[in-house]
A and B are shown apart, each in its own frame.
Chain A
Amino acid sequence: MKLGEIVEKLSLDVKTGHHGLQKEVSGVYVSDLLSDVMANSKEGNVWITLQTHLNIVAVAGLKGLAGIIIVNNRQPEKEINDKADSEKVTIMTTSMPAFEVTGKLYQMLN
């Protein structure tokens, strides 16, 4: 499934890296701990988190993730959006909590 399709079905708000919506999603990783995502996520994964720390962009870039979905209506600061745009990382936001957006994605992908 393409990232754009997920955005559409879950009505996500795309903040940065719109070109990335064409990417194929390889799976999903859910975590708020950067070390965990560094260790266990796979290339092409969509990452679900409530973290809005600047380092999420670096982690997504290093691991080649398809994008980051920030939950609970948390909004990344401009500094993060600028960095994500320049590093071509797609950041999306939703008002849903992690459990719910994860559950919906699980049903779509399985």
Chain B
Amino acid sequence: MPLNTDKTIEGSFQLIGGDFSIAGESSARLKSILTDLGVQEDIIRRASIATFEAEMNVIIYAAAGTLHYEISPRQIRITLVDMGPGIKDIDQAMQEGYSTAPDWVREMGWGAGMGLPNMKKNSDEFKIDSVVGEGTTVEMVINLP
């Protein structure tokens, strides 16, 4: 089914670190935007999972962040910029099972070391940049057929 738009649609959400009560709300809103645009189901699923994992990382680790989306007829681009502790060793962080999550986060069901691998798995392009003490930027692109 073709996308119900020939323009680029964009927008952003503010994320607040530590606030588990609204965790996932931005990803859910992006999901409904994609659904309204008529994007096919498996692509919505991939985009939502990648965004949700990225959103959770901001909530778990950072003080605050922004989720920006850009939907064109060819692709979905999702960028998350956070003010957080940054990642010291990105290669290590990308390893499945590696996590620096504190115990209380693990007791909430997060920090299994699957977040970054899950984002990469569900994106066609995945980029991550981080500066220790400043923050992390994640950019994910999912191509539309």
CB-based contact A32/B96 at 8 Å: no
Residue B109 at the chain A interface, CB threshold 8 Å: yes
Chain B interface mostly helix, strand, loop or mixed? Answer: loop
Rounded to whole Å, the gap between the CB of A6 and the closest CB of chain B is 24
Number of A-B contacts (CB under 8 A): 21
Q: Is the interface of A mostly helix, strand, loop or mixed?
A: loop
On whether the beta carbons of B97 and A52 are closer than 8 Å, the reply is yes
Check A74 against B96 for contact (C-beta < 8 Å): yes
In the assembled complex, the CB of B112 is this many whole angstroms from the nearest CB of chain A, namely: 7
What count of chain B residues pass the 8 Å CB interface test?
9
**A33 & B97 in contact (Cβ 8 Å cutoff):** no
Q: How many residues of A contact B (CB 8 A)?
A: 12
Residues of B within 8 A of A (CB): 96-97, 99, 103, 106-107, 109, 112-113
Which 4 pairs between the two chains have the least Cβ-Cβ distance? Answer: A52-B97, A33-B107, A35-B107, A74-B97
Q: List 11 A-B contacts (CB under 8 A).
A: A33-B107, A33-B109, A34-B107, A35-B107, A50-B112, A52-B97, A53-B99, A55-B103, A74-B97, A75-B97, A77-B97
